[in-house]
Amino acid sequence: MAAEHNATEYIKHHLAFNQTASGFHLDTFWVGLILGFLFVGIFAMVARKATSGVPGKLQNFVELIVEMVDSQVKDAFHAKSKVIGPLALTIFCWVFVMNAMDFLPVDLLPTIAQAIGHYGFGMAPEDVKLRVVPTADVNQTFALSISVMFCIIGFSIKAKGLGGWIKEVFTAPFHAESIGMKIALLLPNFVMQMVELIAKPISLSLRLFGNMYAGELIFILIALLPWWINWVLGAPWAIFHILIVTLQAFVFMMLTIVYLSLAVEDH
């Protein structure tokens, strides 16, 4: 019973957020912000030091990512936009580095945070909480997907004009010839458009959150096992998780490109 209690407390502690009294998740915000600046800083440094000769390993790696994203944008987005390329690159890289925090040992950063809190601020170790995978927080994934939703609306208005966008909201997907039927279909069309619009950020956020939360939970459960079983199970799962982390970032980017492509096209 004591072991079961300790295991339960261990899981609860690792799944608890460092949050304010109002419920704002400080760890999700700061880890995500730091990783975002880290990604931008590395890419900016490579861009400033880029050479037309034989590239270094880091430049070669960055160019590989940029070319991959650029090819996906060209294949899926058929309109002209100076924003879509940088946006897709930012989404892929930022989501990837946030997902990749799952590769760190489960107790590494929380233990460091507990030591800082205890010796630096006199806090009890059990009161110091830190979750290091921002995308395992549904608030973060919803914030990302809602931002994509606003981009969808913005791209659509820019391509069709405000009047054209409003007209599409009330006249598609159901069309009619007579005035009476057009008026009758205003509400059904509006409801269908809103359902489609709202479903996109919900599916984006929950897909990313579900995969990363499950991966984080599995790593926590593996950490509870004896060290030799931990290594036997942890290493294969970490290798397999590389695919999940990369795939989820790629899927989030691709769906965003596809949604924005659909936003600029007429029904």
Q: Contact at 8 Å (CB) between 244 and 211?
A: yes
- Write down the catalytic residue from 145, 189, 211, 261: 211
Q: Which candidate in 145, 203, 230, 261 is catalytic?
A: 203
- Hunting for tokens 């030591």 — which residue is that? 115
Q: Report residue 208 as tokens.
A: 């990313």
Note whether 94 and 35 are within 8 A (CB): yes
203 catalytic residue (yes or no): yes
The residue to which tokens 């590989």 are assigned:
64
Rg (CA), the chain: 23
Half-sphere exposure of 156 (CA within 13 A, CB side): 22
Contacts of residue 15, Cβ cutoff 8 Å, sequence gap at least 6: 131, 217, 220
State how far Cα 261 lies from the chain centre: 19
Task: Reply yes or no on whether 71 is catalytic.
Answer: no
For residue 189, indicate whether it is catalytic.
Answer: no
The set of residues, in sequence order, having a beta carbon less than 8 Å from that of 112 and lying 6+ positions away, is none
H or E segment to which residue 246 belongs: helix 227-263
Q: Would you give the distance in Å from CA 120 to the centre of its chain?
A: 33
User: Which one-letter DSSP state was computed for residue 41?
Assistant: H
Catalytic residue, from 81, 139, 147, 207: name it.
Answer: 207
Rounded CA separation 28/36 (Å): 12
CB distance 217 to 265 below 8 Å = no
The residues carrying an active-site annotation are: 203, 207, 211
